[in-house]
Structure 1
Amino acid sequence: MVVLRPAATPRSEAGETEEAVDWAAQVSSVAIVRLDAVGLVRSWNPGAERLKGYAAADIVGTSFSRFYRPDDRDRGWPERLLSTARDEGSVEDTGWRVRSDGSLFWAHVLITAVRDGEGVITGFVKIVRDLTDAKRLDDEKDDFLRAFAHDLISPITALRGYVDLLEDEVPAAQAGLVQHVSRVADHLIAMAGELAAHARGAPGDESAETDILPLVHEAAELVLPGDVNDRVRIRGAGRANLTTDRAMLRRAVANVIDNAAKYSEDVIVVTVAEQTDATVVTVADTGRGIDPADVPSIFEPYHRGRLSDPGDGGTGVGLASVRDLLHRLGGDASIASAPGVGTTVTLRLPPAG
């Protein structure tokens, strides 16, 4: 719980009390507003005047709820924020707020309860930042993603149709290659569908009963199409069926195998095991390994380890994507590695039903 208490009043060398500096009155980049215990405005700094357009004389003594849209006031949102701040010490909120001229801005708000020496709430301090420009940029990115995802699906679907036509025409010697192109096209269609769902802000539930061993083989073929039988050994007992999103899990496994192939030259061993509390997929290589100092942060986006080389390619987002996908599937990813010995990535998924 955040508790704000008045600072000790400074004294001069002669022992006389000096007037406390009103630091909030010197801040113009953010709004700093003091409220009483029921939400009436008691102080108004220059940042609040600049951001919200009200002069102090027009706003002090009125309810802070006037900064909220009518529908937010109707559902009691301002009062709910104060209630949460009372119970938890502080509360954060992001949303549209209203300026004096009726225009809206996208605000990040922090409300902190202020208590006296006996712990009784005497009011609140409210800090408001204008994030309208960042909100506009995010909206533009979302609009681009929605349009891109929509436009991407059509050519990929057409490609899949052309592949279907080829399957009936190619000689038997090329049939395996066409089947591989078909699987890659299906993978791209699934990824495009996931992108479209994400852009809409409503990703659907694509979970289905999945046989993990064939899925691991599919993932290996995506990244090592002509080399999979020589480079990858897939081991596992039983069928390891579980309910999961096939496309997301295939992406995660493919990313890990791709990393193993990039940083090693020998056989990659992929093992599928059913445990009491999880279904576990491990991908082990005997390659370059990872410096111990890099292991704790290796799943962070854009992190490149000390042993990486510019010629390796990649952008440092593969493992970050793997962990994100596993979290979305209800599991987790971990890594163990030693320089010159190799790396093992472990993917833990909810247990098979």
Structure 2
Amino acid sequence: MITEPKHDIVVEAERLRLFISSVTDYAIYMLSAEGIVSSWNAGAQRFKGYSAEEIIGQHFSRFYTDEDRAAGRPAFALHSALTEGKFEDEGWRVRKDGTRFWASVLIDPIRDERGVLLGFTKITRDVTDRRKALEALHASEERFRLLVQGVTDYAIYMLSHDGLVTNWNEGARRIKGYVADEVVGSHFSRFYTEEDQRAGLPTQALQQAREQGRFEKEGWRVRKGGERFWAHVVIDPIYDTMGELIGYAKVTRDVTERRQAEENLARAKDALHQSQKLEAIGKLTGGIAHDFNNLLSVIVSSIELLRHGVDRDAQLKIIAGMERAANRGANLTQQLLSFARQQPLKPTRMNLNRTLSSFEAMLRRAIPSSLELKLHLGANVPDIMADVTQLEAAVLNLVVNARDAVGAVGADGLITVLVDVVDSIPEGTLRQGRYVRLRVRDNGSGMSPDVAQRAVEPFFTTKEVGKGTGLGLSQAYGLAQQAGGDLRITSTLGEGTEISLYFPALVASVENGFTTHADAMEKVLVVDDQPEVLEVAVHLFKSLGYDVLPANNGPEALDLMHRHPDIAILFSDVVMPGMSGIELAERAAQHQPALKILLTSGYAAATFDEHAGELAQYALINKPYRLSDIIKQLKALH
């Protein structure tokens, strides 16, 4: 009975010895009180290289590097284990073959029941791969830090989750004027203008980045000195491995020069457009003078007749003639003022046949009576999108060019203006589709291939000095390009020239004469939580020529907007589970201010009294809606 516990202890000890001996991932061995190796397991042999016979009885300091032995590191390790109850460290150790490995070391003292030191247990693990991985990570992070710090064209810095600046690169210092010590720890809202701070834009930026995964916008920012610059800003949220938000990455670029260049270019285009119109009016001078002289002749002669006295019936006829002449003069003057007035370019829906018919009188005044002008306006011509005054200037320039070409050969001059519809176009940059074609044809001198190739270049002209600026064809080409079309030249020396302008045809709807630009393929985002209603709405918009994206709820719609920034129209149900149509409209408008928004609901408007303020800013269609209802509201939005 007394020997059984001893037997159990012996058995357990043997099991423990066998367990330790079989461990291969850790070197587990015993040291005497002086540091002599007294046991050796398989793990120790595997990554230190010594067999038990080679190492038992040797001092454990042989595993240390020469420099660590010279520094007394083995004795220090044992002393620390004795005084502190444990020694834990990492460092270089040496294998039997002399190679080094990075070791994680743990030494514990062993004492008997009386507290007498018997020796030490030593556990060593080879963590060289982990150290290499950490060093590689550190090196990568350092390279990235140096890269970010070296960037000078972009302000790249981090924000904490509540918007405090946590680091600062050289680009940020150069663009914003602050050194790191001046700005790290402060809130990034200090870079916004006072009006943007009052409007809460910094908070909105972080909220959008957090909720939508990204914030990108341009606006005014403030440098250290107080001066403003136009900035392009991107903010991205940063999450840790557990998915917790830990901050934001913020990239800012100073694009003031680009904005100024764009504004200067816009002003230059406006000035060029105005000069082209004035040049066209100059070309009309001869014809206008002729017409005004005829009108003045009527008035002057009539006054002369009245002065000499005529009977009452003759007086009434003379006065009526004078009135007609005066009205014609007023109309002519109004046409000139309307054509020449300073106004921004504004593409509108227009019909070429109606525009040319009303402009025909002006065109006839631009050519001498010896030349013949014919208009052939095709039937059922669809509308196009173009700036009316710019189109009139283009046609006038083309007719004047044709006049000069016909006059140069002295032949019986004929200028023909034709409008028709084509469903296929010559090879080129235009995609296949339906186009309205405007052609100006003459039987004049024609152009050589070299001249025809350069004809649309700005300021290129074959006319004598003072006879032309070389902007006529360039302006016509720009008009067609702006409308999504093109200009083509067909010309043969000695036979004449035909200039063709192609404009994408607008597809007329079945009601109200409303049109949608089928070739422009405006994108519409249609949102409804009812699949059947959504499907019908999608088909209705497709029938109008739109490119339609469907969504079943608000979050899905916002995700589509993020992935399709060219969405032009949002058509959404108001009452939906989760995010309502009003909330969706507000979020969408923040993301894309130019977005056209149209809401619909099966509830009466009075149902939304508490949201009347928010709803009032959007167009609302009641369900059930018809195609004509959508067309009417879309027409109002456009």
Give the TM-score normalised by structure 2. 0.36
Confirm whether residue 285 of structure 1 aligns to residue 437 of structure 2: no
Structure scoring higher RCO (CA < 8 A, sep ≥ 6) equals 1
Number of equivalences: 304
Match of 2:487 in 1: 335
Distance 1:29 1:48 in 2: 8
Cα distance change, pair 209–335 in 1 and its aligned pair in 2 (3 A):
closer
**Deviation for aligned residue 1:204:** 11
SS at 1:169 equivalent: helix
**1:110 partnered with 2:236:** no
Q: CA RMSD in A?
A: 5.6
| 8 A Cα contact 1:34 1:44, kept in partner | yes
Work out the CA distance in 1 between the residues paired with 2:235 and 2:459: 36
Distance 1:216 1:260 in 2: 17
- 2:430 aligns with none
Per the alignment, residue 374 of structure 2 pairs with 233
- 1:2-51 per-position Cα deviation (integer Å, ceiling 9, x unaligned): xxxxxxx9x99xxx957416123234444333334553323222332233
Retained in 1: the 8 A contact 2:230–2:259? no
Aligned counterpart, 1:272: 419
The whole-number CA distance in structure 1 between the counterparts of 2:490 and 2:240 is 55
Q: Tell me, yes or no, if the aligned pair for 2:436 and 2:503 is still in contact at 8 Å.
A: yes
Contact 1:28 1:47 in 2 (8 A): yes
Q: Distance between the aligned counterparts of 2:249 and 2:298, measured in 1? A: 77
- 1:126-205 equivalent positions in 2, closer than 5 A: 126-129=251-254, 131=256, 135=260, 138=263, 168-170=295-297, 186-193=334-341, 195=342, 197-198=343-344
Alignment partners' CA distance in 1, 2:195 and 2:240: 37
Distance in 2 (CA, whole Å) between partners of 1:210 and 1:131 is 44
State the percentage of identical aligned residues: 19
1:318 equivalenced with 2:475 (yes/no): yes
CA drift at 1:206: 11
Q: CA distance change for structure 1 residues 59 and 252 in 2, over 3 Å: closer, same or farther?
A: same
Contact 2:217–2:233 under 8 Å retained in 1: yes
The residue identity in structure 2 corresponding to 1:254 is: L
SS in 1 for 2:296: coil
Offset at 1:246? 4.7
**CA offsets, 1:40-86, max 9 Å, x none?**
32322233223323221121233222211222122232333445555
The verdict on how the C-alpha distance between 1:110 and 1:344 changes in structure 2, with shifts beyond 3 A counting, is same
- Unaligned regions of 5+ residues in structure 2, if any? 1-132, 300-325, 424-432, 514-638
Does the C-alpha gap of structure 1 residues 183 and 128 become closer, same or farther in structure 2, counting only changes over 3 Å? same
1:77 to 155, 176, 201: 201
Whether contact under 8 Å (1:163, 1:181) holds in the other structure is no
Match of 2:148 in 1: 24
Which of these residues, 24, 36, 41, is aligned with residue 165 of structure 2? 41
Give the Cα separation in 2 of the matches to 1:284 and 1:203.
Answer: 24
- Residues in 2 aligned to 1:171 and 1:55: alpha-carbon distance in whole angstroms: 81
Q: Given residue 338 of structure 2, which amino acid in structure 1 is its aligned partner?
A: A
Residues 303-353 of structure 1: CA deviation (Å, up to 9, x unaligned): 97xxx86878514631344236x64xxxx4333445648542223564784
2:501 is aligned with 1:345 = yes
Deviation, structure 1 residue 214: 1.8
Structure 1 letter corresponding to 2:419: V
Q: What amino acid is aligned across from residue 333 of structure 1 in structure 2?
A: G
CA distance in 2, matches of 1:322, 1:228: 30
Instruction: State the Cα distance separating 1:282 from its structure 2 match.
Output: 1.4
3-state SS, counterpart of residue 368 of structure 2: coil
SS of the residue 2:248 aligns to: strand
3-state secondary structure, aligned to 1:92: strand
2:227 is aligned with what amino acid? L
- Residues 1:207 and 1:234: Cα distance change in structure 2 (over 3 Å): closer
Q: Quick one: which of 207, 212, 217 aligns to 1:92?
A: 217
Question: Residue by residue, what CA displacement relative to the aligned partner does 1:172-218 show, whole Å, maximum 9, x if unpaired?
Answer: 9xxxxx9999888545522443x2x43xxx97999899833423524
Distance 2:327 2:502 in 1: 30
CA contact (8 A) 1:69 1:98 kept: yes
Q: Distance between the aligned counterparts of 2:490 and 2:213, measured in 1? A: 45
- 8 A Cα contact 2:437 2:500, kept in partner: no
8 Å Cα contact 2:178-2:224 kept in structure 1:
yes
- Measure the CA separation in 1 of the matches of 2:453 and 2:370: 29
- Amino acid in structure 1 at the alignment position of 2:486: S
Check the 8 A contact 1:323/1:333 in 2, yes or no: yes
Change (3 A) 1:339 1:40: farther
Question: For residue 389 of structure 2, what is the aligned residue in structure 1?
Answer: 247
Q: Note closer, same or farther for the CA distance 1:322–1:254 as it changes in structure 2 (3 Å cut).
A: farther
Secondary structure in structure 1 of the residue aligned to 2:297: coil
Q: Is the 8 A contact 1:289 1:342 kept in 2?
A: no
Contact 2:165 2:188 in 1 (8 A): yes
| SS of 1:42 mapped into structure 2 | coil
- The Cα of 1:111 is off from its aligned counterpart by 0.6
Query: In structure 2, the residue corresponding to 1:44 is in which secondary structure?
Result: coil
CA offsets 1:266-297 (integer angstroms, 9 cap, x no match): 74432234899989351143744878x979xx
In structure 2, relative to structure 1, the CA distance for the partners of 1:310 and 1:225 (3 Å cut) is closer
Gaps of 5+ in 1: 1-8, 173-177
